[in-house]
Structure formats: C-alpha cells, structure tokens
Amino acid sequence: MPKLTKLPKALLFDLDGTLANTIPQLAIAAFASAKAVGIEPPSVETTKSFVGNGVNLLLSRVIAGKFDVTTDDIEPNVLKKARETFNEVYLKGLDKDYNLYEGVEEGLKYFKEIGIKLAVVTNKPQIFAVPLLGYMGIAKYFDFILGGEVLEVRKPNPEPLYYVLDKLNVDKDSAVMVGDSDNDIIAGNNAKMSTVFFTYGYNRKAISELNFDYKFDKFSELTDLIKKLQGNKNV
C-alpha cells in the first residue's frame, strides 16, 4: 500500500507488544502450566519467543520446548491440563504484571477525539483480551475488540481484519493495521491495508523481511503522523 495521504478512518491495533508489555504476566501463567504437566518451566525470555499465535500454540511450544511445533504434536490430555492451569492463573493475574507503553493512552485519547474508529485485533483469546484492556484503563477508547478463538482463523490470516472492518463499517483502503510483529504486518499485507510497525515489541522475523509502510520506535511517532495528516489539506 502507498503511504497515507489523508487521515485514516480506522486504526486496528495488536495488543501484546504493541499497546503494552504483557510478557511478565504471560510468563507467570506459562510457568504454572509447565509445572502442572511436570515439565521444566520456560524462562521469561523463552516465553517471549513463543508468544504471538494464541495460547494453545504458546503452550504447545512450552511443552515441546521448541518453537517449531503444532498443537497436533502434543498429547491432547497434556495440552488440556496445561490450558486449564493457564486459564486459571492468567485470569487471576490480569490486573497486574503489565505496563502500557509510553504514549499509548495519550495517543488513543487523541485518535478518539478526532473521530478515528479504533479497534483491537489480537490473537490473545477474547476471554483475556477484553478484561485486560479494562484493567489497563484503555478499553473505553475502542469501538470493537476482537480476540483469538472467536473466529476459526487468526493473524496472519486477513479474515480477522476484514471481520473488524465490517463491524466498524470502514473499508480496507481507509484503515491501518498497527502492530509489533510479523503476524500483524503480514496480516495487513494479506488484507491489502496500510501498515505501521513498532520496533519495540515481540517481532521474530528480521525487520528487513517485513513489508510495512511505516516503522516507528515509539508510539508517539504514530500520534505525530496522525496529527500531521489531520492538518493535511487533502483530508
């Protein structure tokens, strides 16, 4: 997609690694899940390298001790027990062990004030995403929240993005996908949307391999871009 020449009508945001650092709380739940099924718990850094494709795949990687694994590779009862423990521990800990990135709330407030529709499109299960955004105090800024396990597919498939755009009544040419990982950027590419990549999150691919329209090191740089577009005579 070409770079933006006018104010977008919608901004679609990833959650983990884009709006907030949630690795500490994910690591606590992953640690408990590993203990529950009798395997060596992963380190925080290892947990970080395993996130991004939903909880079941995260736990499958934890159980297998490697990244390249599918849920089909894990004994169903083991995965079920790990997931039950994860759900219990993670739900109890959603109100702590996270931090919003600098500039996020200020930016969301500004986007909302100038009439841009805002949504979250995350692979984090809906049962976690909605209350977590509430604890963070930013749920009020979003017109729609789509977590994982609502649809049968997840990012980098473009369907979650199309689903949310339909809910917002905004076409893909008037929206931007904003994220920190290959899943987000590839999903945006697949949906033929403009994309913004944040360098501070949990991306696993080499940045040179990603095809994004904008690359920012801070959330405030996105806010600055939107402010510039708001004053553009082409709006």
Q: What is the pLDDT of residues 132-170, one digit of tens each?
A: 999 999 999 999 999 999 999 999 999 999 999 999 999
pLDDT score for 191: 98
pLDDT score for 66: 94
pLDDT score for 147: 97
pLDDT score for 231: 85
Convert the pLDDT of each residue in 83-107 to its tens digit.
999 999 999 999 999 999 999 999 9
pLDDT score for 146: 98
Instruction: Give the H or E element holding residue 100.
Output: strand 99-100
Per-residue confidence at 235, pLDDT binned at 50, 70, 90? very low
For the beta carbon of residue 79, count every other beta carbon within 10 angstroms: 19
The catalytic residue positions are 14
For the beta carbon of residue 75, count every other beta carbon within 10 angstroms: 10
Burial class (CB in 10 A: 0-12, 13-18, 19+), 232: exposed
Convert the pLDDT of each residue in 207-229 to its tens digit.
999 999 999 999 999 999 999 99
pLDDT score for 176: 98
Q: Which amino acid is at 118?
A: L
* pLDDT over 80 at 124, yes or no: yes
Per-residue confidence at 234, pLDDT binned at 50, 70, 90? very low
Radius of gyration of the chain (CA): 18
Residue range 121-125: mean pLDDT, rounded = 96
Q: Of the given ranges (50-54, 108-112, 114-118), which has the lowest mean pLDDT?
A: 50-54
Alpha helices, DSSP H only, in 144-218? 159-168, 182-190
pLDDT score for 52: 87
What is the distance, to the nearest Å, from the Cα of residue 41 to the centroid of all Cα atoms in its chain?
Answer: 24
